[in-house]
Structure 1
């Protein structure tokens, strides 16, 4: 048995993993979806430097979890990658689901693909929050209209403080036992940072023929991938 700790990406809370939880528990595993501070049911919690990393580490230690498979989606790959190095021998594996990965001294904003200035301007225009995507932003990502409506109804603006938080790594990512799940509708290949990590003997690549939110578009397939990780 392992303990899955599932960390939601930008705008999302623990609810986004609901469709995976039954299959993972039926596999005999502990399942612990986590909402980062400032989002969803924790929207009123303050967010500052390293808050989301501490959210993860504190939850694992509070529950005294062992054999942890730590799963981060999208933005949350950054705090998950940092937390993975801080939980020591509690860690069994890390799974990055179409995720950003942390780099020492860099943040989600500083590595934004269109340039940090553009995302900084977007945050400034919205009171230092990242507004929810527009419905058109989900085009080509394999989500039904019902799923998009659920996302927009349940999602919350994402606190800019977490996006600008610069990573502090206590263990090189390449040393972590890791699986990277690449969602092909969001791009055929991982970015250069991830490609370099995948050259490590400790990392492996799994591809899914779906969009950026596979827990909503293909939850059964994502659960199968996670159960395969647990069996290794």
Structure 2
């Protein structure tokens, strides 16, 4: 996430320290991206071996909907896992963008309790990290492990916006103020370089066709997370080191800046960016999520 300046776009982090390796319209619907590229050659090396069955609940992030998980969910199910991808308020087919973080959290809690899901691996991506923090407070007895994938782990009393660089936060405030419904729409240059930086130009355009405006209010709400930090629930963090959403300097970034807040946690690392690999290498993403969630 980086401030948008109309008419200009430059690589935002000149000193980026590379880490070495080691929606009614949906681009994933029938005939869309998933339909045409469900088994890319680049994913063949991540055929997962037989695995003990787990139950995953996958929570997407901002500028996405539950279809974000289609390829990953299919890969997990192919190995016998049970996978749920709940949609939350203000996203997907919900036309109401005047939602709160509590409404989003309630959507996921209600989904889990209505289906009486237990012993789940609750996974949050990006903004979804803040969601699973609040979900875990409400139904800790149903959760076997929390998995954060390049996701926010907010401190008590913080908002998502509090973790953004100042210029980024100001840009988001301006984009929301200029919208008709208090939403933020990512300009394509930012989406391309920060969210899908490893994608080809053609892929980036195709992915961007499924991006919709994000309700602004939940990003700026400060969250009481005292109960979360008292939970004994096991936790994991999945870190993709080509993820360029945040500057990688001191005080920012996913790992260790966010992940270290979990206390004792399992760390799973891979290459990949914030968005692309769920489309081009879904079996790889599924394998990393499985490694984070297994016993």
User: TM-score range, shorter-chain basis?
Assistant: 0.7 to 0.9
Partner of 1:134: 188
Taking structure 1 as the reference length, the TM-score comes to 0.87
Deviation per CA, 1:49-71: give whole Å up to 9, x if none.
51111111111101100111111
CA contact (8 A) 1:135 1:148 kept: no
Deviation at 1:42, TM superposition (A): 2.2
Instruction: Pick the aligned partner of 1:211 from 267, 270, 273.
Output: 273
Partner of 1:60: 112
Partner of 1:222: 285
Partner of 1:120: 173
Partner of 2:216: 160
CA contact (8 A) 2:236 2:293 kept: no
Partner Cα distance (1:42, 1:217) in 2: 27
Partner Cα distance (2:214, 2:84) in 1: 21
Give the root-mean-square deviation of aligned CA atoms: 2.4
Range with greater deviation from structure 2 (123-132 or 6-15): 123-132
How many residues are matched?
230
Deviation at 1:126, TM superposition (A): 2.2
Partner of 1:177: 234
Range with greater deviation from structure 2 (58-67 or 32-41): 32-41
Partner of 1:186: 243
Unaligned residue ranges in structure 1 (runs of 5+): none
Deviation per CA, 1:72-125: give whole Å up to 9, x if none.
111111111221232122101111111111222211122222354443223212
Runs (4+) off by over 4 Å? none
Q: Please state which structure has a larger fraction of its residues in helix.
A: 1
Taking structure 2 as the reference length, the TM-score comes to 0.70
Partner Cα distance (1:206, 1:60) in 2: 26
Deviation at 1:193, TM superposition (A): 4.1
CA contact (8 A) 2:55 2:120 kept: yes
CA contact (8 A) 2:239 2:270 kept: yes
Partner of 2:83: 31
